[in-house]
């Protein structure tokens, strides 16, 4: 007997028939003798609808009230899933985040999970229930409803799996696994049987939408066995997220590049002509961090004539806020020649563990882009990733030519 957490995304619970389908799969696993915790998203499109409704009343909705609204999508699907299970004669019980007590911090709309009280769920599982838990939501220490950021149900699933010490966390979605890149951009993209946790983390942070990045971080920290599968197919093993040690003695040579991610959600902030002296980076980025704005890439030029240029990227939605912080709180200290923003950019990244032991991956990537006349605006690297910022209009082309250059297509 295993304890399995199954998380179902919005398309998997999009209507009553699909919810019945979820219930039938859960029933099959239950019949094999497993204990099952189900985590569901809202029906697809529902969260967007709720956000739009809020915005009709207040252009920039108050975050606490927005969370009260957008957490309701999942409250509908937990009830429906529990009902569908009962219809199959299975004992089932739904839980909101508050009812479980998924304790989070108080950063509304992007809260972090601090602790999960697994006690009641454990008790119910032992009494033969399937527990159906609302994804995406939690509660802060004062009882306010919080949400975990878009795609946050993945994180609920993995965090619950960690808290319950589950044997496996299965993420059911509308694709049958993790692909070398998005098949909508490159039809030849290939499903990966397995991918290391570190590669998955890079892919998720570079824009692959298959898993919310926090869920991958959680899986890594607590060594949760994670698998991505299709909820529309009964067969298939999906993609297993492995830990590198487990791959060590595999005979096959691992591919050098595992995948290509892209992201159109970032904007570039350019600060030109600031004094080249200690403390400047902190003076620029400190207030940005204090405003709770996430920064991704950061580049500082070598100084010339006592001044230097500073460029960084933030989420597109936060470009206006970041520029306002710089103009209101920073400019009078640093006296930059110019502060500007550009949101017509895209980031394209190649990711692969094999980069550690192979040289020339970066030059191959740059040559491939150069051959298409694509200008690179920013570059950042990690041990297993090379990311470039380019004009957004060349993004799909860049992904296609890189996919081909690194021979990732169906073999």
Q: In the complex, which residues of this chain contact ligand ASP (CB under 6 A)?
A: 9-10, 41-42, 47, 73, 135-136, 150-154
Least distance to ligand ASP, CB of residue 27, Å: 23
Structure tokens at 317: 């939605």
Burial class (CB in 10 A: 0-12, 13-18, 19+), 44: middle
- Gap between the Cα atoms of 404 and 411, Å rounded: 12
* Window 108-167: residues binding Mg ion (CB under 5 A): 151
Structure tokens at 290: 């204090």
CB atoms within 10 A of CB 23: 25
12, interface contact from ligand ASP, Mg ion, none, CB < 5-8 Å by kind: none
Q: What is 43-98 written as a DSSP string?
A: PTTHHHHHHHHHHHH-SS--HHHHHHHHTHHHHHHHHHHHHHHHHTT--EEEE-HH
Least distance to ligand ASP, CB of residue 247, Å: 29
Least distance to Mg ion, CB of residue 15, Å: 17
Structure tokens at 107: 């950063």
Residue 207 interacting with Mg ion (CB under 5 A) = no
Least distance to Mg ion, CB of residue 231, Å: 12
Give whichever of 154 and 309 is closer to ligand ASP, judged by the CB atom: 154
Give whichever of 159 and 257 is closer to ligand ASP, judged by the CB atom: 159
Give whichever of 9 and 177 is closer to ligand ASP, judged by the CB atom: 9
Residues 6+ apart with CB under 8 A from 173: 9, 11, 12, 210, 228, 229, 230, 231
Least distance to ligand ASP, CB of residue 171, Å: 10
Q: Which stretch binds Mg ion (CB under 5 A): 7-15, 25-33, 65-73, 160-168?
A: 7-15
- Residues that bind Mg ion (rule: CB under 5 A) add up to a total of 2
Adjacent-strand bridge partners of 338: 272
Q: State the DSSP code for 233.
A: -
Give whichever of 37 and 386 is closer to ligand ASP, judged by the CB atom: 37
Query: Which residue in the set 6, 7, 9, 312 belongs to the binding site for Mg ion (CB under 5 A)?
Result: 9
Which residues make up the interface to Mg ion (CB under 5 A)? 9, 151
């Amino acid at each position: 007997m295993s304890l399995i957490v199954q998380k179902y995304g919005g398309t998997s619970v999009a209507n009553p028939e699909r919810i019945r389908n979820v219930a039938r799969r859960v029933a099959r696993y239950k019949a094999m003798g497993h204990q099952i915790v189900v985590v569901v998203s809202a029906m697809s499109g529902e969260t967007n609808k709720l956000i739009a409704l809020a915005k009709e009343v207040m252009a920039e909705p108050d975050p606490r009230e927005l969370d009260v609204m957008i957490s309701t999508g999942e409250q509908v699907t937990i009830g429906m899933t529990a009902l569908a299970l009962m219809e199959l004669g299975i004992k089932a019980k739904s839980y909101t985040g508050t009812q479980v007590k998924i304790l989070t911090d108080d950063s509304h709309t992007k809260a972090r999970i601090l602790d999960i009280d697994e006690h009641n769920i454990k008790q119910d599982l032992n009494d033969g229930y399937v527990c159906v838990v609302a994804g995406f939501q939690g509660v802060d220490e004062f009882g306010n409803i919080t949400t975990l950021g878009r795609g946050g149900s993945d994180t609920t699933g993995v965090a619950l799996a960690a808290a319950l010490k589950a044997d496996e966390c299965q993420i059911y979605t509308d694709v049958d696994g993790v692909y070398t890149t998005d098949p909508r951009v490159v039809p030849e993209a290939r499903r990966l049987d397995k991918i290391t946790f570190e590669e998955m983390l890079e892919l998720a942070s570079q824009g692959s939408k298959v898993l919310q990045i926090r869920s991958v971080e959680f899986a890594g920290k607590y060594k949760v066995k994670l698998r991505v599968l299709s909820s529309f197919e009964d067969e298939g093993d999906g993609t297993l997220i492995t830990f590198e040690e487990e791959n060590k003695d595999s005979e096959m040579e691992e591919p050098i590049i595992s995948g290509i991610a892209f992201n159109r959600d970032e904007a570039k902030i350019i600060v030109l002509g600031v004094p080249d002296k200690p403390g400047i980076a902190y003076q620029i980025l400190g207030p940005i961090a204090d405003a709770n704005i996430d920064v991704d890439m950061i580049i500082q030029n070598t100084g010339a004539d006592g001044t230097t240029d500073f460029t960084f990227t933030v989420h597109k939605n936060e470009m206006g806020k970041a520029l306002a912080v710089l103009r209101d709180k920073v400019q009078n200290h640093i006296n930059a020649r110019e502060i500007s923003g550009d949101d017509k950019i895209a980031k394209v990244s190649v990711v692969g563990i094999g980069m550690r032991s192979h040289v020339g991956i970066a030059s191959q990537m740059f040559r491939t882009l150069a051959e298409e006349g694509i200008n690179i605006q920013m570059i950042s690297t990690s041990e297993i990733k090379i990311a470039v910022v380019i004009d957004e209009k060349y993004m799909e082309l860049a992904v296609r030519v890189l996919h081909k250059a690194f021979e990732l297509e169906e073999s």
